[in-house]
Structure 1
Amino acid sequence: MEEEENLRPGGEALEEKKSVKGFWDFLWVPLDWFKMLAEEMHWSFVLGVIVVYGISQGLGGGLGRVGTDYYMKDVQKVQPSEAQVYSGITLIPWIVKPLWGLLTDVLPIAGYRRRPYFVLAGLLGVISMLLLSLQKKLHIAFALLSLTAGSAGIAIADVTIDACVAQNSISNPSLAADIQSLCGLSSSIGALVGFSISGFLVHLLGPKGVLGLLSIPAGLVLLVGVVLSEPHIPNFAYRQVTQKFMDACKAMWTTLKLPDVWRPCLYMYLSLTLSLSIHDGMFYWYTDSKAGPAFSEEDIGFIFSIGSVGSLVGVLLYQNFLKDYPFRNLLFWTQLLFGVSGMLDLMMVLRLNLKFGIPDYFFVVIDSGVSQMIGRLKWMPLLVLSSKLCPSGIEGTFFALLMSIDNFGILSSTWIGGLLLHILKVTRTQFDNLWLAILIRNILRVVPLCLLYLVPRSDPTSSILPTEMLKTKDGAKLDESEKIELVSLVSHPI
């Protein structure tokens, strides 16, 4: 007993010392990790990932989502069905992402493959956002053109940094997982911060002021193009550009004709199209003072931020518990839950939550988190399935093509949803039939269950493509320079 008492103070001091050391490790380990990445791959690349994924797409995406919604509603004063159509048009630059990927891969400018495209993307963003912010009475056509140009700037920067990520993953294979972690961490934190402060900034500066702030992320993208460390390519053979374009397009078309490829692609497109988007109808109802709950700008921003948290939870659930399940089985349950989760919107629009004593704010926060979590769980197996459909040699460009097909599905969903709102006469002030639009959307969300036969029964560890398409010519590996030319990864959905 005496020995135990003598040892106890020293043991407590040791435990206290360990806890202090653990606290400082918690602070310094991430900094050491960033320092390691900067030393191994140059600080300008790490800066580029943080700026494009974290600031431009993450933070800027959160601010732009809420700012654009209020800009269309309060500044341009368009109907929700029109806003749906306009938001679909701004998606067009993301549909042609393979084009941006091929350009950055095979068409250097002034001897550089990546830097000029960052500069171009930054200039597009700065000019378009300042035009929206400073012009007092901008016609809807020019406003839409500016929003689309800003979207194109983000898409070009996204494809270009994807190519840089792929290139560094090839040259530093031991750091490939760390690079992807940096990308995901930057995007998630940026989106959470962006949505969290978006409502406050819209209330403080107005939607035009928030859109003007988006010129700052675009300016940082331009800065990345100036400081990025990249080898210069003198005397580039521009005569080969056309041939490289033709070879890549031919290889993609040959792959796309395979039944093992076009059938899953058709399912992905139809599942996204049938998941009708009526976002603007719900947004107008959320902010209406008579028919809806009259949420403030701060409330809307917080609701979206909870949605981003739900999306992150969905990623963690898939990674830790669901990633090994067969595609068809997992898609069945996630698609079914996706349709059922839409009933939360129906309950709120019919005000059933109030009958059960659940306040609007609490109910919509739960709705947003659950819906985004299930939506992410539905998307993750589709993303993995897409990666399984990419043949050797054109992995990156073909993956960008598959993401473009998915983006086209989202565009179709947005436009058809806008048409539905127009047919049901859901306007800026009339929401009598909004419940019917939600019900139709929820029913259509379940329809893809009848199309699951298009999805292979295999699991994520199995190959889908024929063995010969998973090898290069003569079974040899691609030369590193060839890989870099053909890669343009799309690591973030849409």
Structure 2
Amino acid sequence: MDQESPPKRSTMHKGGILMKPISWLRMLSDELHWSFVLSVTIVYGINQGLSFGLSRIGTQYYMKDEQKLQPSEAQFYTSFIAIPWIIKPLWGLLTDIVPIFGYRRRPYFILAGLVGMVSMLSVSLQSSLQLVFALLLLVTGSAAAAVGDVTIDACVTENSIAHPSLAGDMQSLCGFSASVGQLLGFIISGFLVHHIGPKGVFGVMGIPYCLVIVVGLMLKENLTRNLDYRHVNQKFLDAVKAMWMALKRPDVWRPCLYMYLSLAVSFHVQEGLFYWCTDSKSGPAFSQEMVGSISSVGAIGSLCGVLLYQNVFRNYPFRQVLFWTQLLFGASGLLDLMFVWRINLIFNIPDFVVAVSDAAISHMIARLKWMPLLVLSSKLCPSGIEGTFFALIMAIDHIGFLTASWTGGFMLHALNVTRTEFDNLWLAIVIRSLARILPVGLLFLVPDIDSTSSILPAEMLQSKKSDHRLEMASLVKGYDQDLTDE
């Protein structure tokens, strides 16, 4: 295989720019099997990226127009959809140590696809669905997406071990598929909401889950025979014990505490802003298409933040990058204040121009702030439980986002920001922006090192090569759907 790789890669330079991606995909298909490449594209690009763009806009309009919720209620209830991603380590352990009919991956894809498809179609086809049942179905669909994510993660990890020279290519395929899918989802979401309504969007989301079922049917996987299920419980306990032993170390729990607190105090008020932006009296009355376009520009800004970190700030110490990005994150929140106060109209600047600029800048800074935390997370993973422990850290971060969402919802309620009253929305924005600066005082919890240094002792680490692969995987996969909040 090593002797054949250079000629296959060299063909990428003969066909011009347009042929390079095709040649690259053909090379990956030859080396890794076409079913794996197609599976990555479907799960990351369509079921995660595209579906996230559709779900984000569709859920906002569903809670606003179908369930008739207040902004604080919509923000509180919508945050429950992220709970299945908090227990992502559990899904990872199940796919690793509990095979079904001798297969560790294929049955989980099929199960996730069936559950997700039924959930989305149920929300779409019910004419008057009560909030509690609608929320339960949306959470179930989110759990199906999380299981599919964990399972494809495991497939990528296995192929990275079997084909170490292609590990970077695989992560590039994952990141590219997810980014393009998410961008496309945001672009078409507003159009679909306008023409078929938010419930129709959920019906469309059943199609990606159908494709996940196809992944489970076509993916190439060896059958494991003579399984001893009696040892499953012990393996599960051993994994939990190993994670707990690592988490008790001060050089691990202190950065984890900072990550949680820095996210928890960044109160979310996005539902209040969404209701105001779509209001015809106080706000600019953006259409569904405009809302989707603004979100797509935000996704581009987030991608720019990733590229900016990798090419400019990657070798700076964590504390230094987090200090300045946290200050900029707080300042970027004030852009919403200028928008709500309608200062742009004094200078004859259209609302859509301000909204697009705000989305691009705020998402870029938010991603630039998030990237060093992802790299730091990769540095905290002990050898042998890297994937599961990294998922555990991401679960802690999801709890931070959940805390920020609930606290922000309570703040909107306390300030009487409703479907028709937005007089105190500016105050919520000011409180949120000031709170974003508070984590600067907690930077002592973060090790004063850069991305090239190690945190854990040598006996808990893998080789530098493996650690670098884990770090790059974290960087590319940092888009993680529920983390592109504002």
TM-score by length of 1: 0.91
CA shift, 1:417, in A, is 0.6
* Residue equivalent to 1:177: 168
Instruction: Check whether the contact 1:162–1:490 (CA below 8 A) recurs between aligned residues.
Output: no
Change (3 A) 1:108 1:491: farther
Letter in 1 for 2:261: L
Change (3 A) 1:305 1:184: same
Change (3 A) 1:70 1:148: same
Equivalent runs, 1:66-465 vs 2, <5 Å? 66-465=57-456
- For 1:42 and 1:106, the matched residues in 2 are separated by 25
CA shift, 1:176, in A, is 0.3
* Residue equivalent to 2:45: 54
* Residue equivalent to 1:6: none
Gaps of 5+ in 2: 1-11, 471-475
Q: Deviations over 1:118-140 (max 9, x none)?
A: 11110111001100110000011
Instruction: Check whether the contact 2:92–2:388 (CA below 8 A) recurs between aligned residues.
Output: yes
SS where residue 376 of structure 2 aligns? Answer: helix
CA shift, 1:492, in A, is 4.6
Instruction: Check whether the contact 1:159–1:490 (CA below 8 A) recurs between aligned residues.
Output: no
CA shift, 1:319, in A, is 1.0
SS where residue 460 of structure 1 aligns? Answer: coil
* Residue equivalent to 1:480: none
Change (3 A) 1:125 1:426: same
Q: Deviations over 1:306-354 (max 9, x none)?
A: 0000001111111111111100000001111000000000111111111
CA shift, 1:22, in A, is 8.0
* Residue equivalent to 1:4: none
Gaps of 5+ in 1: 1-20, 478-482, 484-488
CA shift, 1:246, in A, is 0.7
Letter in 2 for 1:212: G
Identity %: 63
Aligned length: 460
Instruction: Check whether the contact 1:60–1:194 (CA below 8 A) recurs between aligned residues.
Output: yes
- For 2:479 and 2:73, the matched residues in 1 are separated by 27
Instruction: Check whether the contact 2:13–2:20 (CA below 8 A) recurs between aligned residues.
Output: no
- For 1:490 and 1:386, the matched residues in 2 are separated by 13
CA shift, 1:356, in A, is 2.5
TM-score by length of 2: 0.93
- For 1:140 and 1:459, the matched residues in 2 are separated by 47
Q: Deviations over 1:248-284 (max 9, x none)?
A: 1001000000000000000000000111111111100
Instruction: Check whether the contact 1:315–1:380 (CA below 8 A) recurs between aligned residues.
Output: yes
SS where residue 27 of structure 2 aligns? Answer: helix
- For 1:306 and 1:344, the matched residues in 2 are separated by 16
- For 2:201 and 2:75, the matched residues in 1 are separated by 20
* Residue equivalent to 2:19: 28
- For 1:444 and 1:431, the matched residues in 2 are separated by 21
- For 1:146 and 1:445, the matched residues in 2 are separated by 33
SS where residue 437 of structure 2 aligns? Answer: helix
Letter in 1 for 2:251: D
Letter in 1 for 2:224: I
Instruction: Check whether the contact 2:112–2:209 (CA below 8 A) recurs between aligned residues.
Output: yes
Instruction: Check whether the contact 2:174–2:477 (CA below 8 A) recurs between aligned residues.
Output: no
Letter in 2 for 1:83: A
- For 1:490 and 1:257, the matched residues in 2 are separated by 26
Q: Deviations over 1:79-134 (max 9, x none)?
A: 11111111111111000000000000000001000011111110111001100110
Instruction: Determine whether 1:65 maps to 2:56.
Output: yes
CA shift, 1:357, in A, is 2.3
CA shift, 1:63, in A, is 0.7
Instruction: Check whether the contact 1:345–1:367 (CA below 8 A) recurs between aligned residues.
Output: yes
Instruction: Check whether the contact 1:126–1:216 (CA below 8 A) recurs between aligned residues.
Output: yes
Change (3 A) 1:470 1:46: same
Change (3 A) 1:302 1:491: closer
CA shift, 1:468, in A, is 1.9
Letter in 2 for 1:400: A
SS where residue 295 of structure 1 aligns? Answer: coil
Instruction: Check whether the contact 2:371–2:478 (CA below 8 A) recurs between aligned residues.
Output: no
Instruction: Check whether the contact 2:374–2:478 (CA below 8 A) recurs between aligned residues.
Output: no
- For 2:124 and 2:14, the matched residues in 1 are separated by 44
Instruction: Check whether the contact 1:399–1:490 (CA below 8 A) recurs between aligned residues.
Output: no
- For 1:176 and 1:492, the matched residues in 2 are separated by 19
CA shift, 1:288, in A, is 0.3
